[in-house]
Chain A
Amino acid sequence: MTVRRDLVGAVLAVSILAVAPPLVGSSYLVGVLTVAVIYGLWAASWDFMSGLTGRENFGFALFIGAGAYTAGFLDTLAHLSPWWGLAAGMAAAALFSLLLGFPTLRLKGPYFALAMLSASAIMQRLMLIFWETTGGEEGLYGIAPLFSSPLAYYYFVLAATVASVAFLVMLARSPWGLILRAIRGDEATCLAAGIDVTFYKMVSLIISAAFGGLGGALYAHYQLQVSPQLFSVVTTITVIIMVYVGGMGSIYGALGGALLLTLLTELLRDFGQWRLLVYSLTLILILFFLPGGLVAPLWRRLRGGGGR
């Protein structure tokens, strides 16, 4: 019952996203929505690992940046077909997740959070320091578009995101997701239930990273350039705030939170410099007054029934 209502809700939401641009007929809206949907993919990927297992990834921007720069390099230096960039972006992000996850995820304590935050901050610095190859502050530009029409690209991004998020939601509701939520509950009890906690955390991090990298590559082919800002802590925090607004652990809520926050901040466009301040104050308010988030709890109430 709840599954059918979820499907109806998803179809409705996707239809609105698909129909809005031609109806409004504004190329500006297409751009805003493309970015919003990519943020949605990032938020959902973050939520899959960190929201479900409770291991906060404060360096998610590392995966975004790795995906974007890989796609950028393949396109501007190797001149491969841009489609390769999407796959390579996913692979590069997954590789980074392996490198950082392996030493940190088997440990108790805050090592994972600290190592991820450090790694992304240092990557951002490295992009500036090795400016001869990375383009420094300007980054890489002149990246080829995947489609000549922005609307076509928007539909492609929407399709990729919907497919990815559907996959992540299904995984989160499968036995796999049950184990991840159990890890959030108590790791020692998980071990006593015969579950290899490190393995599950590691594989979910790789999945989360791969989709983050895909989002990064999609973003590179939308902006047609990549900059070191992608690696910044601000990028990570923006994604995390979207997940908090959406409600942790539901995946679809994260997508909703991203759309909501991106579109709302478009209204604040004239106050550009206040945007991040508003974001961080939103986060503080949510932590204190709405720890369950907004989007997912709202949908659960609308839908009725139990479940997530």
Chain B
Amino acid sequence: MSALLRADGLGKRFGGLRAVKQVSFELAAGEITGILGPNGAGKTTLFNLLTGFMAPDEGRVEFAGKVLTGLAPQRVVNLGLARTFQLCRPFVGMSVLENVMVGCLCPRVRADGGGAARAMELLRMVGLERKAQTPAQLLPYGDQRRLEIARALATRPRLLLLDEPFAGLGKAEIDPLSDLIRRLHAQEGLTLLIIEHKLREFMKLVTRVIAMDFGEVIAEGDPEGIVQDPRVIRAYIGGTEDAHGAA
């Protein structure tokens, strides 16, 4: 299988701090890959570099054979690479359905038509169809995550980047969300890249893990191997994050 996404020597500096340095990896189509790392490891910055929300100081990103580096975020989305935010940012003052419809209006899918009907279908897929008319900002946290995912799906991505989808969720919300992600992967053939540090659920979900610390990739491999990697254990025990459920 050829690579769907290729990051090559990505680097980003904030003043004196090198938030991301020399990050290279490849994603094959159809994979669910996880990015693991303690807080401040540069995971979200990496997402911002991949999706055009920030321009890298060095390195390049290739997606489906096209160079993404330097493209504006909306251009990246229209090439089929969508993302969610760690902090949900629904459109305030608009209903859940309208929130998803905005995604249906991007150039990539607009010509397909369908508008409200397609948005409704996506809400059904993520299990929000009964809250379609609710103002988005009134949704409980877990539902806002689903809304984020539905809005991203509306742009019909080939690769979906999820930024800490489980953060702040309780056990009762985590399992259905994991199921949803698995279903998207199995039924829609979506390739996924997920940032997380809730280890237990995460490790059951992903097929491959890229571990980061201090802005660098420190290990890469399957979930079973990665939790035994001494560098990863050191990053987690030495870092701010407690290693609950790491083993």
Contacts and interface: CB of A to CB of B under 8 A. Distances in A.
User: Does a CB–CB distance below 8 Å link A and B in the complex?
Assistant: yes
Interface of A: 175, 178-179, 181-182, 184-186, 188-197, 306
A178 B98 contact: yes
A301 B51 CA distance: 43
Interface of B: 51, 53, 72-74, 77-78, 82-85, 89-94, 98-99, 101-103, 105-108, 115, 133, 151-152, 154-155
A196 B108 CA distance: 12
21 contacts: A175-B105, A178-B101, A184-B91, A184-B92, A186-B89, A188-B73, A191-B74, A191-B77, A192-B82, A192-B83, A192-B85, A193-B155, A194-B78, A194-B82, A194-B103, A194-B107, A194-B108, A194-B155, A195-B105, A195-B106, A197-B74
Contacts of A189: 85, 89-91, 151
Contacts of A191: 53, 72-74, 77
Contacts, number: 84
Given A181-B94, A189-B151, 18 more contacts: A178-B98, A178-B101, A178-B105, A179-B102, A182-B91, A182-B98, A182-B102, A186-B92, A188-B85, A189-B85, A189-B90, A190-B91, A193-B154, A194-B82, A194-B107, A194-B108, A195-B102, A195-B105
Contact of A179 (B51, B73, B105, B155): B105
B85 A194 contact: no
Contacts of A196: 72, 74, 107
Given A185-B90, A185-B93, A197-B74, A178 B53 contact: no
B149 to A, nearest CB: 12
B91 A192 contact: no
B92 A194 contact: no
Nearest to B107: A194
Nearest to A186: B89
B106 A194 contact: yes
A197 B74 CA distance: 8
B87 to A, nearest CB: 10
A306 B51 CA distance: 36
B155 A306 contact: no
Contact of A194 (B74, B84, B91): B74
A83 B125 CA distance: 55
B133 A306 contact: yes
B186 to A, nearest CB: 24
B91 A181 contact: yes
A181 B93 contact: yes
Nearest to A188: B89
Given A175-B105, A178-B105, A186 B74 contact: no
Contacts of B94: 178, 181-182, 185
Nearest to A192: B83
B91 to A, nearest CB: 3
Contacts of B73: 188, 191-192
A182 B93 CA distance: 9
Nearest to A185: B91
Contacts of B98: 178, 181-182
B92 A185 contact: yes
Contacts of A194: 74, 77-78, 82, 103, 106-108, 155
A191 B85 CA distance: 12
B77 A193 contact: yes
Nearest to B76: A194
A179 B107 CA distance: 12
A253 to B, nearest CB: 15
Nearest to B79: A194
A182 B106 CA distance: 12
B194 to A, nearest CB: 16
A179, A184, A193 — which one has the most chain B CB atoms within 10 A of its CB? Answer: A193
Contacts of A186: 89-92
Contacts of B74: 190-191, 194-197
B85 A193 contact: no
A184 B91 CA distance: 8
B83, B85, B103, B133 — which one has the most chain A CB atoms within 10 A of its CB? Answer: B103
A185 B102 CA distance: 11
A195 B89 CA distance: 15
A197 B92 CA distance: 16
Contacts of A178: 94, 98, 101-102, 105
Given A182-B94, A184-B93, A306-B133, A190 B53 contact: no
